Each structure stands twice: as structure tokens, then as C-alpha cells.
Amino acid sequence: MDFIAILRIAIRALTRNKMRSLLTMLGIVIGVGAVIATVGLGQGAQEQVQRQIASMGTDLLFISSGSVNKGGVRLGGGATKTLIYDDMKAIVQQVPTAALAAPSSGASGLIVADNQNWSTRITGTEPQYFDIRNWSFDRGVNFTQDDVTRAANVVVLGATVQQNLFGRADSTGKTVRIGNLPFLVVGVLQAKGQSGMGQDQDDGVFVPITTLQKKITGQDWLQNIMVSATSQEASYAAQAQITSLLRDRHRIRPGQDDDFSVRNLADVAQLADESSKVMTLLLASIAGVSLIVGGIGIMNIMLVSVTERTREIGIRIAIGATESDVLRQFLSESVVLSLTGGVMGILFGIAASITITKVLGWSILIAPIAVGAAVVFSMAVGIFFGFYPARKAAMLDPIEALRFE
Amino acid sequence: MATLVQNELNADVMMKPERPANGSAVIQVQDVHKSYDLGETKVHALRGVDMKIEPGEFVAIMGSSGSGKSTFMNILGCLDKPTSGKYILEGTDVSSLDKKQLAAIRNRKLGFVFQGFNLLSRTTALENVELPTLYAQTEKSMRQARSKEVLELVGLGDRMGHFPSQLSGGQQQRVAIARALVNKPAILLADEPTGNLDSRTSVEIMQIFQDLNDSGLTIVLVTHEPDIAQFAKRTVVFRDGKIRHDDPVSNHPRAAEVLKSMPTVDED
């Protein structure tokens, strides 16, 4: 019997019991829909994290002053004063895989412009910082190395600060106060959005490192050094080389703890990627369980159908249907059920995803591969759970089947 | 209706079965036994049956229930296999065939007509008739043409789109006969085809059988009604799993003649 004839018979048999077929399909619809929505959710989250990390740069190394053990008391991160400007210079000169490096130390403070004020983070750094972070200017210019040397009172505003102090007005050339000191606004950065950790990266201002150290905090050590490696692959080598260089410079004996930490953003990216993958897998497998439940529903209904249609099966065998004809007929019924359910489930899943995106604002990515997998998987469910009932039908004794009332 | 049937039954539509080259019997049954194992007891349904049916014969098999006639019919129809003995159908030893080959034989060489019509419900007359051609992998255009042809042959050319529930018993049985004929079988096997029909309709069905037989079709009919069996050319009586009588019917009546003497009942 040809494929189209089989399909037509299957569809007709299913439309005979519309309500029953629909309810049976519902299990698959919900299962596939749930898988599509959760995988979409997971992939959306994964993509967002990756985008954020990529915006920070995956070839970045982040050196922080570390914790230190003082008479048995372990002070937290940032407690040491050993990370200094010369460390940064040494890294640039001696580590071949390090391309650029910039210091960064921070303090928080109140910025005042005319009658507006805004409390924010003040970061002291050098001009190349913005190159390393791949951050361009919306208005004005960067401060210069000369400004750093002179410890000039110049400031670069983050987009959020600009918004809060000046709104849409041009702020370059204007003066703001940090503490009691006047600062000339030279540039405004473009908005960068949230960091991978959910922090608003635009809520901050940037001043030359020397200005921060001498005029605001009075500290001469660095909290962080940001280094860009020559490539993402080189970042691991750079991490090792920087670690050994800094241990050497800080005279840390073998076996002693580092008084700094070097974090590789490629590592962070991988970690974040991994955790969202695990999450996706977990959600999808929970949703997958409902697919199996749907499959059992199909098997149940197909078994009922085989019993109901015993006589029909007997007639078909008597007039020349082979075992494989009967097997294929019932198998195609269950596959039509599950496949239709699968397609409806995909639509349902996409609709659910769009609703979630609109209502909750989560980003969802409907991957074509997830849709393809859903189709294949629902078909597999139909074949797997339809096989036993179909085989039962094919193995019927025609004499008994014809006698069946 | 009767005249319609007669008009439609022209010989060139009916395919004569291809006869084996040596002109041997269509059916040859040699010492066939059939026993069923029911746990501890063994039931002997057939205890050595020999039978030969020549092409063009019209055989009525009779017997009370439990005589083994139904078992014999199932074996003839390749729905069941004998425990021992030989069944040769058109020169082929059927007992040596596998399930798939048997299905092909049922499909192409045998046509079944049952007591309960056994049509698929909610399926039109035409689609019911088409069913065997689907399993025979007949070409699509051929399928419909052939199905229409046989439906017209049994006088239901104007009822093709009707569902079985919209047809009378006699009409349903005629659809079943059309279905049995659609693949041009060598033999038509009818198991109590008139069992569910009133006497007039029964004779009408027998008229179709006689006409088909006239055009060369071999027919084997199971019945327990002697006045139905008389329309056949030969009666075989089963008892206790054996053939008791095997006689030709001398001057069997023509169903068409009998119908004329019967009171007319409006069928539809």
C-alpha cells in the first residue's frame, strides 16, 4: 500500500474521534511546547550572558589586589596595598602576551553639576582603559596621558551620570564638582548597559589615576589592573606569566598564598556559559518528561483503538493486508497523532516564548535546531509508543478478529 | 433491480481465471486434518478431507454447526493452515507458503464474502470495494476504474458514494461481492452469504452468484439452508469433520426464474 493511501486512512481514522485525538495530542502539544519554551529561555539567557561578556572582551585579564593573612586574620579581597603602578609597567614590559594594561582604582563620591547631584563610582585610570574595554565616546574626547602626568582635574562621564546630571544637554566643557574640587568634563561615554553581573556599567565617572590617588583617595596603591592579552588563546598564557611575575615582584615564597588574584574573563565567560547550559538542559529534561507522559497517552489510546477495530483489522487481513500493512497503518496513525501534536506544540511553545518575552522581559531565542529536534523527537515518540499497539494489531488472528463483536 | 443485475452482468467484464496449463483442478485438498489444542483436550475439527474443485464449478458446502465446514472454509481461504495434509490452489502447495505469500494469495486469488457483510463502516461503497486494490499495489487510475466496473456489475453503479449504513442488507452484500471480485480472483468463497438476508434478497444474491458462475468464476459457498444450496451445481455435506455426501445437483433451479414466482418486496 502506498504512503499517501496509508496516510489518508490514518487521518480519516483519527478524525473519526476528533475529541479523543485532540486530547491525546494535548500531551505531546504541552510536552513539545514546554521543551521549545524552556530551551528558548535557556538559549536566550546564554546568548545574553555571552553578549555581555563579549562586550567586556574575552581576552581580558583582571588583576585585583588580593587577600592577605595577617597574624591568622585573613583580610578580604582588596585589603592589600602591594599592587602598585610599577607592577603594571612591569607587566607591559615583561609579559609578551599582554598587549595593553590600565590601572583602575575606585572610590565612591558625590558629583555636583549646577543644581543637580548624583552619587556614583569614581574610577581612576589611564587613557588606554577605554581601548581595553572597547568603549567609545558619545561626545567629547578622552583625557590624555599628559593629564595623567599632571594629575589634571578632568573627568569622563558615564552615560547614566550624563543623563542624571545634564539630561540631553551637552556637558563637555562644563565643570562639575567632585567633593570640593572642580573638574572639567572632557568626554561622555557611550552607553554600555548592564555587566554580566547585573551592574550598570554606565553609572560611573573616570578621572586620571593620579588625580584619584593624589586628590580624592590619598592612596598610592592600585585596586585593579586590567590587561588585554594579544588574543583570546594567549590569555591563558598571559594569566600564568602575570601570576609568576607578580609573585616574583611581591617576593612571595613558594607555598605562600598570592596577595593578588588574576581572573581571566574567558574563564568567566566559559563558566557563565556552562551554568546556563546546565540550566537549559535541566529545564528541557523536566519538559521532556511531559513528552514521555504524552507518548504513554498515545500508546493507551492506540491500544483502545486496536481493540475497538479488531473486526476491521480482521477484514483487512482477510482481503489481503500483510502484517506489515497493518503495522504501518497503525504506526502511521500514532505518528500522525504525535507529529501533529509536535507541530502544534512548536506553535504553542513559540507563542508562550513571545508572551514570556513581552510580559517578563526575558530574552528568548527560538533556535531552529530546537524546533527540528522537537519534530524529530515527537515523531520518535509516535513510533516508539505506537509500535506495541500496532504490532498487537498486526499479530491478530484473522479468524478470531472476524468473529469479534 | 433484478433486471438491472442481469443487464449489467455481461461476460466480457468478468475475467475468467487463468487456468493452469495442464487443466488441473483449481482446488485440490488431500487428506487434510485440523486439530486444535485446547490445553489438555484436543479438538479434531477435520479428520481427513479429500476434495477436488474444477474450474467453473459452483459448490455448496453444507453441514450442521460443528461439522467442520467453517474450519474447512478457513483453510480454503488461507486464513488457517491444516495440521496435516495438502492444499493445492491453482497448482501451488499453499501449506508451504509464509504469511506474506498467503496474504498475497488471499488478496489476488481469493474473494471473500461473509455472512455479516464485513464492510468498513463510515467508508463509502466505492472505497470499500477499492480496499483490496490498495493492498495489491494497483495503479491509482486502475483502482477506481476497476472498482466502479465491479460495482456496476453487481448493480450498484448509482450507490457508489453511499455509506454501508445507508444501504440495505442486500445492497451491502452486493458491495461485499464487488469487493471480492475487484482483484479478479480465481475463486469466490462465500461463508453463509444469505444468513442475514430475507428470502427474496437471498435469491437475488444467488442470482448474482449464478450469473458470475456462468461467466466462468469458480464459487464455493457455505450454507446450512438446503433451498440456497440447490442453486449450486454440486453439494458437499460435512459431518464430524469428514465429507459425508458429495453429489451433483440435478436440474438446479435458476434464481432468476424463482424470483419471478416470488412476491415482490420493495427493497428501498
Of A314, A320, A398, the CB nearest to B135: A320
Residues A30 and A107 in one domain: no
What 3 state SS string does chain A have? Answer: CCHHHHHHHHHHHHHHCHHHHHHHHHHHHHHHHHHHHHHHHHHHHHHHHHHHHHHHCCCEEEEEECCEEECCEEECCCCCCCCCHHHHHHHHHHCCCEEEEEEEEEEEEEEEECCEEEEEEEEEECCCHHHHCCCCEEEECCCCHHHHHHCCCEEEECHHHHHHHHCCCCCCCCEEEECCEEEEEEEEECCCCECCCCCECCCEEEEEHHHHHHHHHCCCCCCEEEEEECCCCHHHHHHHHHHHHHHHHCCCCCCCCCCEEEEEHHHHHHHHHHHHHHHHHHHHHHHHHHHHHHHHHHHHHHHHHHHHCHHHHHHHHHCCCCHHHHHHHHHHHHHHHHHHHHHHHHHHHHHHHHHHHHHHCCCCCCCHHHHHHHHHHHHHHHHHHHHHHHHHHHCCCHHHHHHCC
Residues A306 and A364 in one domain: yes
Residues A240 and A381 in one domain: no
Residue A11 near chain B (CB below 8 Å): no
Tell me the per-residue pLDDT of B197-227, one tens digit each, with 9 for 90 and over: 998 999 999 999 999 999 999 999 999 889 9
CA distance A398 to chain B (A): 7
Q: Do B179 and A323 touch (CB under 8 A)?
A: no
What value does the CA radius of gyration of chain A take, rounded to a whole number of Å? 33
Domain count within chain A: 2
Residue A7 near chain B (CB below 8 Å): no
Q: Which of A394, A386, A388, A281 is nearest to A341 (CA)?
A: A386
Q: Which of A229, A258, A287 is the last residue of a domain?
A: A258
Residue A311 near chain B (CB below 8 Å): yes
Tell me the per-residue pLDDT of A97-145, one tens digit each, with 9 for 90 and over: 888 899 988 888 899 988 889 999 999 999 999 888 888 899 899 999 9
Q: Which of A233, A258, A283 is the last residue of a domain?
A: A258
For residue B20, the model assigns a pLDDT of 46
| Mean pLDDT of all residues belonging to chain A | 87
Do A222 and A65 touch, CB atoms closer than 8 A? yes
A75 forms beta bridges with A68
> Which grid cell sits at A238?
598571559
CA distance A5 to chain B (A): 8
* Other CB atoms within 10 A of residue A324 CB: 14
Q: What is the mean pLDDT of residues A219-243?
A: 86
Q: Which of A132, A116, A133 is nearest to A185 (CA)?
A: A116
Residue A356 lies in a domain: yes
For residues A281 and A128, what is the distance between their CA atoms, to the nearest angstrom? 41
CA distance A318 to chain B (A): 7
CA distance A288 to chain B (A): 37
pTM: 0.70
For residue B3, the model assigns a pLDDT of 42
Structural domain boundaries enclosing A193: 81-258
Give A-chain residues touching B103 at CB under 8 angstroms. 317, 320-323, 325
Residues A290 and A209 in one domain: no
Q: What is the band of A75 on the pLDDT scale with cuts at 50, 70, 90? A: low
Give B-chain residues touching A8 at CB under 8 angstroms. none
Residue A65 lies in a domain: no
For residue B21, the model assigns a pLDDT of 45
How far from A27 is each of A21, A36, A41, A292, A341, CA to CA, in Å? 11, 14, 21, 9, 8
In chain A, which residue's Cα lies nearest the Cα of B73?
Answer: A399
Percent of chain B with pLDDT over 90: 59
Of B74, B107, B122, the CB nearest to A319: B107
For residues B197 and A403, what is the distance between their CA atoms, to the nearest angstrom? 19
Residue A228 lies in a domain: yes
Tell me the per-residue pLDDT of A16-62, one tens digit each, with 9 for 90 and over: 889 999 999 999 999 899 888 888 888 888 887 777 777 666 688 88
Which of B131, B140, B144, B191 is best to mutate for the A interface (most A CBs within 10 A)? B131
For residues B183 and A316, what is the distance between their CA atoms, to the nearest angstrom? 14
Q: Do A325 and B80 touch (CB under 8 A)?
A: no
Which B residues, 166 through 185, put their C-beta within 8 Å of a C-beta on chain A?
Answer: 179, 183
Q: What is the band of A1 on the pLDDT scale with cuts at 50, 70, 90? A: low
What number does CATH give the domain B2-261?
3.40.50.300
Q: Which of A379, A396, A213, A189 is nearest to A313 (CA)?
A: A396
Do A138 and A190 touch, CB atoms closer than 8 A? yes
Specify the 3-state DSSP secondary structure of B207.
helix
Q: Do B108 and A323 touch (CB under 8 A)?
A: no
For residue B42, the model assigns a pLDDT of 87
Q: Do B103 and A318 touch (CB under 8 A)?
A: no
For residues A332 and A326, what is the distance between their CA atoms, to the nearest angstrom? 10
Residue A58 lies in a domain: no
Residues A278 and A246 in one domain: no
Of A16, A320, A402, the CB nearest to B122: A16
In chain A, which residue's Cα lies nearest the Cα of B182?
Answer: A319
Tell me the per-residue pLDDT of B231-268, one tens digit each, with 9 for 90 and over: 999 999 999 999 999 999 887 888 888 888 887 655 54
For residue A78, the model assigns a pLDDT of 58
Residue A73 lies in a domain: no
Q: Does residue A76 carry a pLDDT above 80?
A: no
Q: Which of A105, A107, A61, A98 is nearest to A81 (CA)?
A: A105
Domain ranges of chain B: 2-261
Where do we find the cell 486530547? A23
For residue B246, the model assigns a pLDDT of 92
Q: Does residue B8 carry a pLDDT above 70?
A: no
Residues A97 and A175 in one domain: yes
Residue B136 near chain A (CB below 8 Å): yes
CA distance A317 to chain B (A): 7
A63 forms beta bridges with A225, A262
Residues A283 and A347 in one domain: yes
For residue A67, the model assigns a pLDDT of 64
Give B-chain residues touching A398 at CB under 8 angstroms. 79
Specify the 3-state DSSP secondary structure of B204.
helix
**Which is more confident, A288 or B203?**
B203
Residue B142 near chain A (CB below 8 Å): no
Q: What is the mean pLDDT of residues A232-252?
A: 87
Residues A145 and A224 in one domain: yes
Residue A18 lies in a domain: yes
A222-231, A356-365, B41-50 — which is least confidently predicted? A356-365
For residue B1, the model assigns a pLDDT of 42
Residues A164 and A195 in one domain: yes
In the sheet with B234-239, reading across from the earlier edge strand, the strands are B110-113, B187-191, B218-222, B58-62, B234-239, B242-248
Residues A254 and A287 in one domain: no
Q: Does residue B24 carry a pLDDT above 80?
A: no
For residue A161, the model assigns a pLDDT of 92
Q: Which of A43, A53, A45 is nearest to A267 (CA)?
A: A53
**B162 CB-contact burial (10 Å; exposed 0-12 / middle 13-18 / buried 19+):** middle
Tell me the per-residue pLDDT of B94-110, one tens digit each, with 9 for 90 and over: 988 999 999 999 999 99
In chain A, which residue's Cα lies nearest the Cα of B70?
Answer: A399
- Start-to-end CA distance of chain B, whole Å, equals 10
Q: Do A1 and B99 touch (CB under 8 A)?
A: no
In chain B, which residue's Cα lies nearest the Cα of A317?
Answer: B103
ipTM: 0.86
Residues A218 and A301 in one domain: no
> Which grid cell sits at A64?
585585583
Where do we find the cell 486464513? B79
Residues A117 and A165 in one domain: yes
CA distance B134 to chain A (A): 5
